Amino acid sequence: MLKILPQSFYEDPNIQTLLADGISCIVHKQVQEAVWHKEGFVSTHAITMVLKGLLRIENDEGLFTEIPAGKAVLLPKGLYTVSDIIPPRGGHFEAMVFFFEREVIARFLESLNCACSKEKSITHLVLDSSDGMRLFADSMLQLYGKNRPANRQLTTMKLFEFLHLVHASPNGGNCLTAALATLNNKERKSLREFMEANYAKGLTIEDYADLTGRSISTFRRDFKSQFGVSPKQWLIERRLEKAHELLSKNHTSVTDVVMEVGYENIPHFTKAFREKFGLPPKQLLIQSRREAFV
């Protein structure tokens, strides 16, 4: 199932939220067994620091990155990723993830007198974890681990402190500020490009609005202006058309198609499909199989 990060982390038993204020947060993740091909969208800028094991990330453009223990990676808002989480032999995977809302990044750049850049947004920036960064992670676990209560107002302060530690690391300074300065370039994505690439991901209208850098009302207005219909109507039509295409090509099963086009409820899908195409999806699949043997 596709995950929206960090929101889905709050319900994951393998993840402990140390500090949180809205979607700005610091979380600690431990995984005992390998996890393969985990899909997710990053809903706000993040830095993942791997403490134990190996993290592999691939985005929708095919860019593949490995982050072993002792490394950290910057992931921008709106990034779609497919991740492999691999614990070390005889141990568990461990990472600390820092999620930054736009205002935190802006304030940090202002504190360094850095202006936003018009260059292409930098993704998957891999950095070495310095001693200071690792000590910071240890202190966070000591102070706020084991479900110790913490004031949410500390969140921004601690995220600010972490960014300064990354900036002060031997190879982090110029690379980090250059990357952060480009992030706002992706805040408002091309709506048509994003929707065409991700209509089958099973996201909600709220998810699409957030991931394209818009409020729900602005998203609905921009969408109607560009597509001529409401987001809900367009998504239904686009997903049904894709389902018809897959079933016509003798796809393996109706259930697989339902999952592939972003539906979660098979009866709802079947009803909508019949209303649009005049026959149930299973019948179309049977017909396509018969034609394949003619």
Domain boundaries, given as residue ranges, for the chain: 3-186, 191-292
Q: Which residues contact 193 (CB under 8 A, 6 or more apart)?
A: none
Three-state SS across 167-222? HHCCCCHHHHHHHHHHHHHHCCCCHHHHHHHHHHHCCCHHHHHHHCCCCHHHHHHH
Q: How confident is the model at residue 63 (pLDDT cuts 50, 70, 90)?
A: confident
At the topology level, CATH places domain 3-186 in Jelly Rolls (2.60.120)
Q: Tens digits of per-residue pLDDT, 112-170?
A: 887 665 566 666 789 999 999 999 999 999 999 877 766 788 999 999 999 999 988 87
Q: Tens digits of per-residue pLDDT, 250-288?
A: 767 899 999 889 988 899 999 999 999 999 999 998 888
Mean pLDDT for the chain overall: 88
Question: Strand pairing partners for 28?
Answer: 16, 96
Q: Tens digits of per-residue pLDDT, 186-241?
A: 555 689 988 998 999 888 899 898 888 788 999 999 999 999 999 999 999 999 99
The residue-averaged pLDDT of 164-187 equals 77
Q: Tens digits of per-residue pLDDT, 71-110?
A: 999 998 888 889 999 999 999 999 999 999 888 998 898 8
Give the strand order in the sheet containing 64-68: 3-5, 35-42, 80-86, 54-59, 64-68
So what's the pLDDT on residue 120? 62
pLDDT over 90 for what percent of the chain?
A: 52
Summary count for the chain: helices (H), strands (E): 11, 11
**191-292 placed in CATH 2.60.120.330:** no
